[in-house]
Amino acid sequence: MHSRTFAKGHGTENDFVLLVDRDARESLTDDQVRWICDRRAGIGADGILRAVAGRHIPEWSGDPDSWFMDYRNADGSIAEMCGNGVRVFVRHLVDEGLVVGPTVPVGTRAGLRMTEVLPDGRIRVEMGPARVALEDVRVLTADHRDLVAVPVDVGNPHAVSFVSDPSAIDLRDAPTWYPAEAFPAGVNAEFVSSRGPRHLEMRVFERGSGETRSCGTGTVAAAAAWHHRHHDGAVERAPAAGAVVYRVDVPGGTVEVELGERTYLTGPAVIVARGELLVPAGLDA
């Protein structure tokens, strides 16, 4: 058995275990990730955020001294980006004195993400472009709904379906999609309805984690897909000065998505616990 210092946090109840490993001395195995994220045997989380120096990530070509968010889903799989996770990641770095805000650059597998700690405590993240595909796909849910879905790339893949009532969708099992080749590495499936002008409600089934209380990149995908389909044109045509702001409600809270020449996600980030994690000997790397 060995121990590791950890923190636990969430962004609109999308929850994460945070590990600081600046010099990449303690790698994570898939079994360790699954055990840590287990809500009965471990700490419980939708994923793990490991803070390492960029130089230790082979696919990172940016500043080698920058903090890199090495994100793992609850099943051990690697994800390119996590919009809620990056806010919690920054909150932890700031609270621990590892960075000085309000502006904090973060490396991710989807590229560099600039973040800003706002005076009210929320964190605003530049999310990169939200690319809405021209051709729809179909998503099949566990309750046999065959839904049209809009593919959106936010550094990771999404399939956004518009429905009358997201709460009625059965998400106990993972949705499937066709054509299968549309998302060879899997997809995050969002189910979205309108609750008023620029006000959306969303549920999500995340690849590698199941249904979560929120998905940051998913809220961006939802707003981008809705705006594209209901305002006759690509999101990127909106001028920065006239960026549109969507409120997106998820089961875990509310975030704001700004769509313009650049896309931003703003929402809360909370650290709820710090402690010592005792890794069983059978799970040692």
| 73 in a labelled binding site | yes
Written as one letter, the residue type at 3 is S
| 211 in a labelled binding site | no
| 262 in a labelled binding site | no
| 156 in a labelled binding site | yes
* Rounded Cα distance, 209 and 221, in Å: 18
Per the structure block, which two tokens stand in for 66?
Answer: 């920058």
| 83 in a labelled binding site | yes
82 flagged as catalytic: yes
| 131 in a labelled binding site | no
Q: Which of 48, 57, 82, 248 is catalytic?
A: 82
| 196 in a labelled binding site | no
Q: Which of 88, 200, 215, 224 is catalytic?
A: 215
215 flagged as catalytic: yes
| 216 in a labelled binding site | yes
| 203 in a labelled binding site | no
Active site residues: 82, 215
Where is the binding site, in residues? 14, 73, 83-84, 156, 188, 206-207, 216-217
Where is the binding site for substrate, in residues? 14, 73, 83-84, 156, 188, 206-207, 216-217
